[in-house]
Amino acid sequence: MMFDYDCYKGSPENIKDVVLEENRILTRKLAESQQSFELLKLVHFDRSINLEKLNDIIIGCTGCLHSMMVYRGMILSNLKPEDSIYQQILSQIDDLTQGDGLTVFDKLFEDITVMCYPVSVSQINQEQDEKIYIILMFPKRLVNCEVKDFVTSFMLVNDVLVNIVISREKMVRLIETDPLTKLLNRSSWNSTLETIVRHPDSFFILFIDLDKFKIINDTYGHQTGDEILKETGHWLRSVFREDDRVFRLGGDEFAVTGKINPESAEGFYTKIQTLNEQFTKALWSKLQIEATISIGALFTKNAEDKDSLYLRVDRLLYKSKEKGRNTVSAESDFA
């Protein structure tokens, strides 16, 4: 009978070193497993975590210098666009995002190793496969096989984290989007009002109604009526700022809200006064149909409760209707 005595050939010190190293690796893997579990819980239950925050989490967990997410032509990063590293990565983005697994690039920078990992994004109501590319930058002197193995393992967990965030964002968009105009819907409006009340700041609210829309519907038909609603939504998005929120509350009722500097409230009010004429011209240009809007506008920093806010702006809209429509009724709490 033959025996393998190789495992006994090392000195006691060598055997001790091997055991300690194996224990260290096992301890690290157990810690990584626990970290992964806690991360999954955090990302799953915290709805405030978006891709930008997830990018920060990736930096913290991997210990990399910088991280970039490339998704649908959008780039999220802790780097600023004017940074030289950002510009260099951007110039090589097509080459970096070609691999199917973890790809390591050692020659882009003298002292930085770049790793790129593609995450397959699950689809909701879409057929096209999509990927989001995670680009990590490490000090070259610290990168070894163990670091690469860790990044590979972490990215398997990150696959799940990314898909949790993206799927949640898509579901929220589906739940909070009006299917006809693609504006935010009444459900989103209610949650926005609740946020305004919880975190009061100087803001404006507009209620906008299409005048005599039932007559327009009866005259031109419901299909044309739908086109008018869609064009109204498109026009509203075009005349307000990107961070203002535009809603279709139902039927021919729309709303817009956003932050406002009290010192510029007067200038903003002047802009609101021009919306009626702008809308009529824009709709005629697109559909050759003449229609007008009535507007109620509130400028305030007082948000006692959402019902009071709603009623206050609704009264202003009703005032515009009483004045003969195609006009603005506004109220400001700014002296």
pLDDT per residue as tens digits for the range 252-282:
999 999 999 888 888 888 899 999 999 999 9
- Residue 216 CA, distance from chain mean position: 37
Based on the fold, state whether residues 234 and 325 are members of the same structural domain.
yes
Which of the two residues, 201 and 280, has the higher pLDDT score?
A: 280
Q: Are 133 and 51 in contact (CB under 8 A)?
A: no
Q: Is the dihedral of CA 54, 58, 60, 64 positive or negative?
A: negative
Q: What are the catalytic residues?
A: 252
CB–CB of 157/36 below 8 Å?
A: yes
Residue 303 sits in the same domain as residue 277: yes
pLDDT digits (tens, 9 = 90+) for 14-47: 544 554 555 554 455 545 566 677 888 888 888 8
| Residues 217 and 138 occupy one common structural domain | no
CATH number for 294? 3.30.70.270
pLDDT at 3 over 50: no
Alpha-carbon gap, residue 291 to 325, rounded angstroms:
11
What band does 167 get if pLDDT is binned at 50, 70 and 90?
confident
Task: Report the alpha-carbon distance of residue 115 to residue 235 in Å, rounded.
Answer: 43
Q: pLDDT by residue (tens digit) across 226-250? A: 999 999 999 999 999 989 999 999 9
Look at residues 147, 176, 205 and tell me which one is the last residue of a structural domain: 176
Q: Is the pLDDT of residue 302 over 60?
A: yes
Considering the chain, what is the average pLDDT of its residues?
85
Residues 18 and 144 in one domain: yes
DSSP code of residue 123? -
Q: CA 196, CA 169: separation in Å to the nearest integer?
A: 21
> Percentage of the chain with pLDDT > 90?
50
Domain containing residue 244: 186-332
Residue 147 is part of a domain; what is its CATH number? 3.30.450.270
* 152/117 Cα distance (integer angstroms): 8
Report the domain count for the chain: 2
pTM above 0.85, yes or no: no
pLDDT bucket at 128, cuts 50 / 70 / 90: low
